[in-house]
Amino acid sequence: MPATPAPLSGLKVLELGQLIAGPFAGRLLGDFGADVIKVEPPGTGDPLRQWRMLHDGTSVWWQVQSRNKRSVVLDLRTGEGRAGVRALAREADVLIENFKPGTLEKWGLGPDELARDNPGLVMLRISGYGQTGPYRDLPGFAVVAEAMGGLRHLMGEPGRVPVRAGVSLGDTLAGLHGVIGVLLALQARARDGRGQVVDVALYEAVFNCMESLLPEYSAFGAIRQPAGSALPGIAPSNAYRCADGQVVIGGNGDSIYKRLMAAIGRDDLGQDAALASNAQRAARADELDAAITAWTVQRPVGEVVATLQAVSVPVGRIYTVKDIAEDPHFQARGMLQDATTPDGLALKVPGVVPRLSATPGRLERPAPQLGQHSGQGFGDE
């Protein structure tokens, strides 16, 4: 019996982007069945091929970022390369690019030019600051976008230099917003047949996730400050030291808070009417954190987790990737998928999310070698 077609089966995507944000969007579309043709420059191809840890000269990250894609080599700085892109764009439903604004226009590949041949083309453009505005021509990487979007200021301990998350959140958030924009534009095209430009700025994707930051400033002049592992205004919710490690505990719901205090032997705090609401607890967050720490620091992580899980208090160990790879829940949910490099190296790669019950995404093809599919068009195999 043939497999159920993926939800984006038949969708034709032309990916011109490099590194993280644009290719991450292309990967997500490919995971759900889109035919993604990735255009790479001659020579070394997408620089991501050489980033971080390499096997046989290619990054193992490449096996994740470029799965379910095909690779075509075209030099966009030449007339022949640009003609190849125009030919592919005529067949495409979606084009993804994350060059500096104005670059495609300089090459005669801007949205106006491409729309003349393909009025239904949806064009996802990801850049540091967007296609308009006074900063549009500035170079923009995720590290800058996270700072400008308000995230970096909140990360770290009070009074110390802000830290970064250790992954390129700005790029990933921009890619996710890009996919949302593409799907919205395709829905609109289904009604009127017209394509459009999806303009995603890295800093705006970050800013869109900043929750109450702006309205709190607008209403009260409040400028939220970094608070380490705590979340200001929400208590108790923090990371806590144990005898052999750390855990995170979210005890901020009113009933959860009472169960947490009972579990740690502090019913006096749990039943205190002056701590019945989150606003009251937030004003005494340091006191509550100290009480919780006094209990956790005397116990190993396993005991803390088991005790609090038994009374339905959200709690968890702080995972390393080793913990992830060995965790039975990750395994049961299919989040640790098998992949193989061209020379036979077996890898684990992240599974496909989100999970769809009837038309799930899947890994159909491994990440391509450079130019492996040159000369092919959409629908060719």
* Cα Rg of the chain, angstroms: 24
Please report the DSSP string for 337-358 in residue order.
Answer: EEEE-TT--EEEEE--SS--SS
- CA–CA distance from 266 to each of 262, 281, 283, 289, 294 (Å)? 6, 14, 18, 12, 11
Beta strands in 229-374 (DSSP E): 237-242, 245-250, 315-317, 336-340, 346-350
Torsion of CA 27, 28, 33, 37, to 10 degrees: -30
Instruction: For residue 137, indicate whether it is catalytic.
Output: no
Q: Contacts from 279-282 at CB under 8 Å and sequence distance 24+?
A: 281/235, 281/236, 281/252, 281/257, 282/232, 282/233, 282/234, 282/235
- CA–CA distance from 309 to each of 190, 245, 304, 315, 326 (Å)? 47, 17, 8, 7, 20
CB 193 within 8 A of CB 119: yes
Pairwise CA distance, residues 215 & 220, whole Å:
8
User: Annotated catalytic residue: which of 171, 192, 244, 343?
Assistant: 171
Give catalytic residue positions: 171
